Chain A
Amino acid sequence: MLNVQIRKRFRSNGAQPFVLDVAASFPPGFTVLFGPSGAGKSTLLDCIAGLQQPDSGEIRLEEATLFDAARSLSLPPRSRKLAYVFQSLALFPHLTVEQNIRYGLSDLAGTEQTKRTNQIANSFRIENLFFRRPAELSGGEKQRVALARALVTRPSVLLLDEPLTGLDTALRRSILEDLRAWNEASRIPILYVTHNREEVDAIGERIVTLVNGRIQETGAPRAVLDAPRSIELAQSAGFENVLPAVVVEHRPADGVMRVSLDHAACEIEIPLGDAAPGNEVRVAIRAGDILIATEPPHFLSARNILPGTIEAVETRGTMVALRVKAGAIFQVHVTPGAVRALDLSPGLLVWLVVKTHSCHLVR
């Protein structure tokens, strides 16, 4: 178990200094650190690794104290027994793949170094790259080498800062599979920073969300990300619609409340939440959770049916983004097939259908 309780203030030119203020425990296994950029995720990892010094607090790994401001104790990075894969990977450009992997093993005997290097190279399938330099590797190969270099040291904590950014889905999945297999065998705390929802779903046992230097929520990925409680989180969790709203009335018998969106442009029903009538809140809705109909729909369980007009149609790869004015402006994602079948085009009168539970109350 890794216990972190730290505070670090950053001087800034702006009016408000950035403060990282985190108290959390990381058990063995994956913990995803999720949050918008600038939330302090990399700074948190740097503090745990000893590359930056917090102003106060302590960091403990099992029985060992890595950092304790009260006792002016801070182990240097090299004595913390952890591994850190940076976003930039930071492979040594002048060393070969093999030399890169061996770099962290200098305290061991030569034969042991060779044994471990071969072992890890084998499990990450990079033996054939031993004599290449980082510049001669593809993106996925570099990522594998960086992971191998970190894991070959048999760390007690693994810090991963968006290690798979820029890879295509198949490659990411295969590397994640390798990582997961490795995790089964070693069971140490792994802190995994990512913005990518797909990676969260693929590895997340636990998720910790960080916003503005503070931990906002901790829990299972689905529970946390599907009902974000802050606007920053909603946006980074992929909620395209985050609309200002005012609570109109509670209907406890139905388990819902009515809110008016975007300065009384329209009204919808959302699940009953922690906000009193008259309160200003925000409502987050995924663009993909909104259905579109070209005739007034009847006999539906969905409680929110809003008439509107398509303002723009924009094709983005395998998805089409519609901008619909139905009182407020909504982003709606549909497939190209739906656009053809319904002949969706700007100016067309449509009805938006939104399930009550697709609407999330956000602070």
Chain B
Amino acid sequence: MNAEALFLSLRLAATVAILLLAIALPLAYSLAFSTWRGKFLVESVVALPLVLPPTVLGFYALIAMGPRGPLGKIWLSLFGHPLAFTFAGLVLASMLYSLPFAVQPLVASFESLDRRLLDASAVLGAGRGRTFLRVILPLAWPGVLTALVLSFAHTLGEFGVVLMVGGNLPGITRTVSIDIYDRVQALDYTGAHQTALLLLLVSFVVLSIVYGVNRRVWLPWPAK
């Protein structure tokens, strides 16, 4: 088993999950509570990674991050090295890829809140920030946990995007799923099996935590 690849994957997944939460919280807040009519456009963009093949996403991410792409140029001028084929590039692309998994559980849990509680908070003198910290977040925490865990698990298992954007640099962009692919290509089935089984177990445990903690927040099938 490739411990280096596993450690890299865990580091990537944790970084993505935490950074994504910071972005997804305000995004989900505005999606859940705004009455803006064009909101559906943002919702579609957020949901895109659910239906796009990871290779398509990875392809455009690669172009954007390349030395001549808009993102790549900015990065180059800021840090003096290109963005593609680096850990940072991988993090960025993975955040895009896992965005719906962070945003949707949050929107669902925000929308299920009793609006009168938010009204009560406002009438009792709280501004939006205080209402968010003292009422919305504590009541929506199963959604927050679900968002964290799902984006972690989803990033942990990604393949296509990593391959396109990160390539296969040991210790930098070679994640577990790339490692498994390599081993299968090299007919090292035992090695592939060990890593694959570990990934399967980790994913199962992680999802069990989510569904065990809250059965109603975000199920892929309608709740009974």
Contacts and interface: CB of A to CB of B under 8 A. Distances in A.
Interface string A65-87: 00000000000111010111010
Interface stretch (B6-14, B125-133, B206-214, B215-223): B125-133
A18 interface: no
Interface string B107-129: 00000001011011111111100
Contacts of A104: 124-125
A83 B123 CA distance: 6
B140 to A, nearest CB: 10
B38 interface: no
A77 B134 CA distance: 17
B135 interface: yes
B138 interface: yes
B125 A49 contact: no
Given A88-B114, A94-B138, A94-B139, A78 B119 contact: no
**Interface centre among B117, B124, B135, B138, by most A CB within 10 Å?**
B124
B114 A103 contact: no
A54 to B, nearest CB: 16
Given A78-B127, A94-B138, A106-B130, A86 B120 contact: yes
B139 A88 contact: no
A84 B117 CA distance: 12
Interface in A137-156: 149, 153
Contacts of A149: 124
B119 A90 contact: yes
A107 interface: yes
Nearest to B131: A78
Contact of B123 (A77, A93, A106): A77
Contact of B117 (A82, A83, A90, A107): A90
A51 B123 CA distance: 8
B114 A90 contact: yes
A90 B114 CA distance: 8
A93 B117 CA distance: 9
Given A93-B139, A94-B138, A103 B121 contact: yes
Interface string B124-158: 11110010001100110000000000000000000
Given A90-B114, A94-B139, A106-B130, A51 B119 contact: yes
B125 A86 contact: no
B130 A92 contact: no
A49 B124 contact: no
Given A51-B119, A77-B119, A90-B114, A153 B124 contact: yes
A88 B116 CA distance: 8
Interface residues of A, number: 24
Contacts of B135: 92
A206 to B, nearest CB: 24
A207 B72 CA distance: 69
A133 to B, nearest CB: 12
A86 B123 CA distance: 11
A199 to B, nearest CB: 21
B116 A86 contact: yes
Nearest to B122: A77
Nearest to A86: B116
Contacts of A50: 122
A50 B127 CA distance: 13
A90 B122 CA distance: 12
A76 B127 CA distance: 9
A78 B127 CA distance: 7
Nearest to A146: B120
B114 A78 contact: no
Given A90-B120, A94-B139, A106 B126 contact: yes
Contacts of A90: 114, 116-117, 119-120
Nearest to B141: A94
Nearest to A107: B125
Nearest to A78: B125
A93 B114 CA distance: 11
A88 B117 CA distance: 9
A149 B117 CA distance: 13
A83 B122 CA distance: 10
Contacts of A78: 122-127
Contacts of A82: 123
Contacts of B123: 49, 51, 77-78, 80, 82-84
**Interface centre among B120, B121, B130, B135, by most A CB within 10 Å?**
B120
Nearest to B121: A103
A107 B126 CA distance: 10
B136 to A, nearest CB: 11
Contacts of A153: 124-125
B124 A103 contact: yes
A103 B134 CA distance: 9
7 contacts: A77-B122, A77-B123, A83-B123, A86-B116, A92-B120, A92-B135, A107-B125
Interface of B: 114, 116-117, 119-127, 130, 134-135, 138-139
Given A82-B123, A94-B138, A104-B124, 9 more contacts: A49-B123, A77-B119, A77-B122, A78-B125, A78-B127, A86-B120, A88-B116, A92-B121, A93-B139
Top-4 shortest CB links A-B: A104-B124, A90-B116, A90-B120, A77-B122
